Amino acid sequence: MTNESPSHANAALVFGGSRGIGAAIARRLARDGHPVALTYASRADKAAEVVAAIEAEGGTALALQADSADAGALASAVASATARLGPPGIAVVNAGLYQGSPLDAFPLDMLDRLLAVNVRGVFLSIQAAAARMVDGGRIITIGSNTAVRSGVVGSSVYAMTKAAVATLVRELALDLAPRRITINNIQPGPIETDITAGFLEQLVERNPLRRVGTPGEVAALAAHLASAEAGYMTGASLTMDGGFSI
């Protein structure tokens, strides 16, 4: 196909769509008319909840198990989604992992896991999705404002992986441009999810806007990047963090 932009008939893939930001994006894209396939690593129950919510709103969705560090599982998930929903016009790579430790105590297995999921897994997800994507499609990664600055001891490797994602997106824009596929990176700051639930008050105090973001706000930006109106933007990293990293 040679579409210049993804139509409502085109399927959307959301890698890491069972909770938080990924779940919000999956639901938003479904509301915008796209059948959605979402992957999950281990929480089949949460993935099923997202599918049920989408179907309750009249949308089409399916959940597929795939660890982002497993190249075979990712390729299989994309193949299954394509067989059931058609070639993807949108792919959102949200799967990621946060772990932190000061330098002198940083375990090697933690380093390897962060690189495997946050860098290798992102590349593999993009590669698998692009191979089956319609021309004129949209790829969106969910990075982190820590790629700009974290200011937190122990987050160096996590920040490094997110900076790698920003660089990957910028350079892959050249690879994908001949097919009119755009690729852009959203870099959220503190977002109200189950991960931040225990220290929201501290995050609010550090944020110039004196609040944290919501998954719905990230989903709204993702929906814009997935739309025809964003067809001239590619290779960009967009930080949305209330001024947290300024």
- What whole-number distance in Å separates Cα of residue 97 and Cα of residue 102? 17
Name the nearest CA neighbour of 15 among 79, 78, 89, 86.
78
* DSSP annotation of 191: B
Which is catalytic among the residues 18, 68, 125, 144? 144
87: confidence class by pLDDT, cuts 50, 70, 90? very high
Instruction: Copy the structure tokens of residue 90.
Output: 């949108």
Q: Does 25 score more than 50 pLDDT?
A: yes
Q: What does the pLDDT read at residue 201?
A: 84
Which is catalytic among the residues 18, 125, 158, 237? 158
Q: 4, 137 in Cβ contact below 8 A? A: no
Q: What does the pLDDT read at residue 200?
A: 81
CATH code: domain 11-236 is 3.40.50.720
Helix (H, G, I), strand (E, B) or coil at 117: helix
Query: Facing residues of 62 across strands?
Result: 37
Q: Does 186 score more than 70 pLDDT?
A: yes
Q: What does the pLDDT read at residue 68?
A: 87
List phi, psi (to 5°) of 8. Answer: -65, -20
**All structural domains of the chain with their residue ranges:** 11-236
State yes or no: is 98 an active-site residue.
no
* DSSP annotation of 202: H
Q: What is the mean pLDDT of the chain?
A: 93
Which is catalytic among the residues 5, 125, 155, 162? 162
Structure-model confidence comparison of residues 145 and 150, the more confident one: 145
One-letter amino acid of 87: P
Count CB atoms within 10 A of the CB of residue 166: 20
Q: Does 34 score more than 90 pLDDT?
A: yes
Could you identify the residue written with the tokens 């933690």? 110
5-9, 79-83, 137-141: lowest mean pLDDT where?
5-9
List phi, psi (to 5°) of 183. Answer: -140, 125
State yes or no: is 144 an active-site residue.
yes
Q: In sequence order, what are the residues at sequence separation of 6 or more whose Cβ sits closer than 8 angstroms to the Cβ of residue 201?
A: none
